[in-house]
Amino acid sequence: APTVQPSAISITIQNNGGDMAATNVTVRAKLGTSVTLEEKTIALAKGQTASFSVARPQGTGEATAEVVINGQVVASAQFTISP
């Protein structure tokens, strides 16, 4: 689950499928119309994890973290940004 920090959101992803060759992975946090993201080109073996840190979106309330590979959202999680 995403971890909310004062100025950033820490997000760890895990590859639950087969080995993934070096691929451009985007992790984004969305709250209303505010979207922040980090892109990395990474390779992940099955079970391996990678950590991302995205700027905290503006505002408070229910937010969504998404993992995007090749333009497709492959995973998402809901989290709350408190004041």
- pTM here is 0.92
Identify the DSSP state of 57.
P
Q: Which two tokens stand for residue 26?
A: 């985007």
Q: State the pLDDT confidence band at 1, using cuts at 50, 70 and 90.
A: confident
pLDDT in tens, 17-72: 999 999 999 999 999 999 999 999 999 999 999 999 999 999 999 999 999 999 99
pLDDT (0 to 100) of residue 53: 97
Which position has the higher pLDDT, 10 or 83? 10
Query: What span, in angstroms and rounded, lies between the C-alpha atoms of 9 and 34?
Result: 13
